[in-house]
Structure 1
Amino acid sequence: MAAASAPWVVAGLPPACQPPGSWPPPVPARCACRRPSASRWPPGSTSVSPSRNRGLSTFRPAAASFRVTASASLPPQADEPCAPTSRVSKKPNKQHHLWIRKDSAGSGKKALRLVNTVSKLPNEKEAVYGALDKWTAFEPEFPTIAAAKALEMLKRQRQWLRIIQVTKWLMSKGQVLTWTTYDTLLLALFMDGRMDEVESIWNNIIQTHTRSVPKRLFSRMILIYDIRHCPDKVLEIFADIEELGVHPDEDTTRRIGRAFAALGQEDKERLVLKKYLKKWKYIHFNGERARVRMGGPLA
């Protein structure tokens, strides 16, 4: 009888209604690569182990038999080949987005390369401009920060001719037209002895940017004319300062006073010094910061 040959018999059921075969069903053999190690599952322990498949949870009793609670995701049979496991790795994005690219990245090296390039060139406009065009040929956007750093390096090295060449090339490209660039160009032209170009550029600046010329450029022009012993030119710049309402610094004020004194106008010198010089200044006395009157005994 089928029911008698079974290892178990359900009480209360006739022999014809007994389920055929053995029950519970045999546990399918797991693949060797997924078999847990003996150290992880010591004999005689009872624990619940989460399967690699999220839909499967297995229970390990001490009798080394398994009970599957979710039959839809059974492990592969012994005769089924185990699929090789592969990890999903995210490839790095090597695409450079130009709209979020930082312009200051590597600007110091670019500036140093520009300085080393122009320092070895002959004093010819075509050679210098050709090298500068090659410097920016493969740049996706104009290296503004690198060009400004290169001008500062050339200024520290006192290469006035190279500053003039690089600045005029930048002006022809319409790039780096800042007040610092104009100030560096005026200084380089003055140190190179080109006073006619200094006056031409200054007149162009004062006519184009009348209300926005900074105090720094006025001080630069007064310094240039004071070194050249041109007091009349100093007073012309001072007239523009008075008209535009620019307050000169202390050094520029003393140069203006000396220009009035050189022309024999001592009364105007006193008025200028009284108007623009500070009445008080701060000094350190006995380890403390103290305010004293300008021209006093402690000043």
Structure 2
Amino acid sequence: MVLRMIGLLALEKEQQWHRIIQYSIKWMLSKGQGNTMGTYRQLIRALDEDCRAEEAHTVWLKKVGTDLHSVPWKLCSMMISVYYRNNMLDRLVKLFKDMEAFDRKLYDKVIVQRVANAQEMLGMPGEKERELRKYAGVFSQTKKKKRFVNRPEQSATEGKP
């Protein structure tokens, strides 16, 4: 199983999307192996990169998006991006509303902006303004940089009598 996942990662690195789709759908998933969120993330990404967004949407609906409580944020964010890139704005807004219904808040300003843009393009300027007001804190936050504390190295003789 580990070797199969390494093979998928190698294909993803080489951007061989068609082969990822073949390998994921026809072999791994049909054998009942690799039914993980990571495999579905790779499959959805490969379908999107291979200009097969409708199929990515179908995989999302049937396998991933049924229980938004357990779907990782990274995968939800990726699906919003797939919908945005492929002009599936009504589906983007629906996914966003479903996530809000499960009380999952957005903390990524790029995603909030995409949702607001989609609402504006769909003729919902009131909704756009409401979302921008609701998530105004996301735009004012700055990312905290991780700081590493330099600790002086202890010599081998320290702490010994």
TM-score relative to the length of structure 1: 0.43
Task: Report the count of equivalent residues.
Answer: 140
Q: Does 1:221 align with 2:79?
A: yes
**Structure with more of its chain in helix, by fraction:** 2
In 2: Cα distance, 1:227 partner to 1:282 partner: 25
TM-score, with structure 2 as normaliser = 0.77
Q: Which residue of 2 aligns with 1:163?
A: 20
- Contiguous gaps of at least 5 residues in structure 1: 1-143, 285-299
Superposition map of 1:16-27 within 5 A: none
Q: 1:197 pairs with 31, 55, 74, which one?
A: 55
The answer on 1:263 being equivalent to 2:122 is yes
Q: Which amino acid aligns with 2:142?
A: K
2:154 corresponding residue in structure 1: none
**Richer in strand (by share):** 1
2:83 is matched by which residue type in structure 1? Y
Note if contact 2:65-2:71 (Cα within 8 Å) is conserved in structure 1. yes
1:225–1:231 Cα contact (<8 Å) kept: yes
Q: CA deviation at 1:197?
A: 1.8
| Equivalent residue runs for 1:43-58 within 5 Å | none
Question: What is the CA deviation profile of residues 268-296 of structure 1, one whole-angstrom value per residue up to 9, with x for unaligned ones?
Answer: 22321232352332578xxxxxxxxxxxx
Greater Rg over alpha carbons, structure: 1
Name the residue aligned to 2:46: 188
Cα 1:282–1:166 shift into 2, 3 Å: closer
Distance in 1, Cα, partners of 2:112 & 2:35? 28
Q: How does 1:1-299 map to 2 (within 5 A)?
A: 144-168=1-25, 169-204=27-62, 205-207=64-66, 209-248=67-106, 249-276=108-135, 277-278=137-138, 279-282=140-143
Q: Quick one: percent identity of the two aligned structures?
A: 31
Q: 1:210 to 1:231 in 2, by over 3 A?
A: closer
After superposition, give the CA deviation of every residue in 1:14-71 in whole Å (9 maximum; x if it has no partner). Answer: xxxxxxxxxxxxxxxxxxxxxxxxxxxxxxxxxxxxxxxxxxxxxxxxxxxxxxxxxx
Cα displacement string for residues 74-100 of structure 1 (whole angstroms, at most 9, x for unaligned residues)? xxxxxxxxxxxxxxxxxxxxxxxxxxx
SS in 1 for 2:142: strand
Does the CA-based 8 Å contact 2:68-2:99 persist in structure 1? no
Aligned letter for 1:241? M
Question: What is the letter of the counterpart of residue 113 of structure 2?
Answer: R
Report the Cα offset of residue 265 of structure 1. 2.5
Deviations 1:96-124 (A, max 9, x none): xxxxxxxxxxxxxxxxxxxxxxxxxxxxx
One-letter amino acid of the counterpart of residue 273, structure 1: L
Q: How far did residue 226 of structure 1 move?
A: 0.8
**Contact persistence 2:17–2:49 (CA under 8 A):** yes
The 2-side partners of 1:231 and 1:210 are apart by 19
Q: Which runs of 5+ in 2 are unaligned?
A: 146-161
The higher relative CO (CA closer than 8 Å, separation ≥ 6) is in 2
